[in-house]
Structure 1
Amino acid sequence: MADAETDSTALIADLGRRARDAARVLSGLSSAVKARALDSAAEAIREAAPAIAAANDEDMARARAAGLSSAMLDRLRLDAGRIESTAAGVAAVAGLRDPVGQIIDESRRPNGMILRRVRVPIGVIGIIYESRPNVTADAAALCIKSGNAVILRGGSEAIGSNRAIHAALVAGLEREGVPGDAAQLVPITDRAAVGAMLGAEGMIDLVVPRGGKSLVARVQAEARVPVLAHLDGINHVYVDASADPAMAAAITVNAKMRRTGVCGAMETLLIDRAYPHTAALVKVLGDTGCEVRGDASIRALVPTAKPADAADWDTEYLEAIASVAIVDGVDGAMAHIAAHGSHHTDAVVAENEGVAERFLAGVDSAIVLWNASTQFADGGEFGLGAEIGIATGRLHARGPVALEGLTTYKWIVRGTGQTRP
């Protein structure tokens, strides 16, 4: 074990030095050069689609043999449409406005000095992720567009897919003169490599974990570098007494069943005690193939619902299961979310504007929605292009983290010879 840790530390140190050199190059590139490089990377991914698909087939076969859940298999799977979507995501980032150099604010001091806060890259970003191989491309594209070098450490279940996507992406970048070291993939899947990244002070400026609770908890417990993270997506839809029944059904089904394995999926449905169509709404959800686990009030109305226990209200299922509870109006919904939510994404379905505004103001989550599905919790849907993840903390960035979330700022002061008295 000691040898593995020593080797991993040396490996990450080498990747970090190379990334730091690449970051200095990136900081001097124009927006046009970065855009051309990302367009080239997108095209290279398209050209490599057969090789990427073949690698993913091998990963999927190993994952099935290992008994991965259906949700994890869905995250891992790359078909032709998803490979094209991955390439299109890189191209979309190429076309986004470059945040580097943007003036956040400007002021003139009484002594005549002009002060500006200007966006600059963070430096070297470490991304630690599981299952989803598209993150390899998404994260690299966002980091490069925002002037950051990136060190990518994917999960062992997706190693072949990650390597294939990474090789294509780097080839595309290098065709336009961007150093390949700007986007490096950790070549090993040993857990010691994660520990080495978390302790890489001075080489990695920010770590972003994308994965399950155990990964994020480990990163937050062990990291000696800043962390930008989200925990579970324990997301709620609250259906108010004033909700339109057809809208409530459509949003509930979409929020849970569109893709059950994404972090924006609804896990708990809260229904106002005064809502007149509760049984019908729960039946619609169950008819889609979703297992309903209800509290005593729900089971009294819908006998086919399974009983929910205390753990259900704090569970991110990431599969076709939903817990359902009756609450006393919007105050009851907000109290339940405060007790059991994860500050990720929560939605209210209501025609009563006052109720909706109370929910939007009172729920302390990174994303709150009125009359819309929680599945919109996605950087692309927010017009941000690809995303690094959904941050649920309160510092630096919150919600979908895209280009601006990967920058910091510096003060630029212009004077005319002023000295301080």
Structure 2
Amino acid sequence: MDAITAHHSTALLTDRYELTMLQAALRSGAAHRRSVFEVFTRRLPNGRRYGVVAGTGRLLDAIENFRFTGAQLAWLGDQGVVEEDTLEYLANYRFTGDVHGYPEGEVYFPGSPILTVEGSFAEAVILETVILSVLNHDSAIAAAASRMTSAAGDRPCIEMGARRAHESGAVAAARAAYIAGFTATSDLEAGYTYGIPTAGTAAHAFTLLHDSERDAFTAQVESMGRGTTLLVDTYDLAEAVRTAVEVAGPTLGAVRIDSGDLTLLAHRVRRQLDELGAEKTRIIVTSDLDEYAIAALAAAPVDGYGVGTSLVTGSGHPTCAMVYKLVARATTPDGPLVSVAKRSAGGKTSVGGRKWAARRPDADGVAEAEVVGTGPVPEALAPHLLHVPLVTGGEVVGREPLTAARERHKRARAALPLSATQLSKGEPVLATELLTS
């Protein structure tokens, strides 16, 4: 039996042209030339002030599990994707190179060298699709989540978008949202796999199931305790709030509002709860929230937000447009690297050479520029370099607890100029400066 089963192998998360390029390069003799690939984005989604790196931990697992099973190789042969000599190479494929990159949770800007992959062309080129698939998805979700948690301030945000996404994508989205400050997820698989706190109580169906709203609330409180959250907008809101407090008492944990004018209703419910003696009962709001709706509720007596569709779709930007480009290669397997870059018209150019990146702070410690270079690192920038080792000699060295990425994002966002948190359309909050040798 294969050491990596088909269920866990990530080797076919690959576009066909990766393997056809590999085959042609093996035939030309260039496949084993040392090469450097770089992940970057030429621009941020329209109006975004910064990006968020997410998915790194998942990507390390994907690289480690990028091994072809016997069944996969047989299928590639049967389909005529590649020939026998290429199948023999793939049968023994292991990535033995190095990966450096921005650590997970860090922010990035146009031109930031988010990830650098170095190895033979053969080893590195076939990782392109899985790398971009993970980083583009997770970073898009994290960027949206960061805007939402920034708008929410100290009020908690709960991720609850599993029913609005692909089942696997929903788990990845919950992970990315947690990195960017969400406090919990409704998705149990995300909780099981990544240790994210889970939350959830009841939907409208639970109330509709029972003969009365009182019966439904009584059943839920008896099952989950007085600290539970009761959904109060199935029928008449004011009557439901009154019934909720009568059933659970003034120590009721929370009520949830899922429809209507949330600002107006939150004020009415807060006043009613206080009049009923439930001053500490919290108000949670849901209903197609995004960062703009959350910001609009800042002055409302709301204690937390549940966010679904907008979050798991990147709040209108479900990808980051990251690309994977060859920026340096040797002319022989062990020769010196030379810079290469795409120069075609149409704006899809790239800058050659292996790059370093640093975030230059001003005198007050606030970031003022993203500096990217191909030559020696200026002494003043050495303490502010952003890359960390992720894979060394084929061995994963960059794994860390998810909480570390979460704390890093909090620090990185706090170190940006205050305009980074503005939701109005604008340019990236930091300019990217290029220093070439």
Question: TM over 0.5: same fold?
Answer: no
Higher gyration radius (CA): 2
Higher relative contact order (CA 8 A, sep 6+): 2
**TM-score, normalized by length of structure 2?**
0.24
**TM-score, normalized by length of structure 1?**
0.24
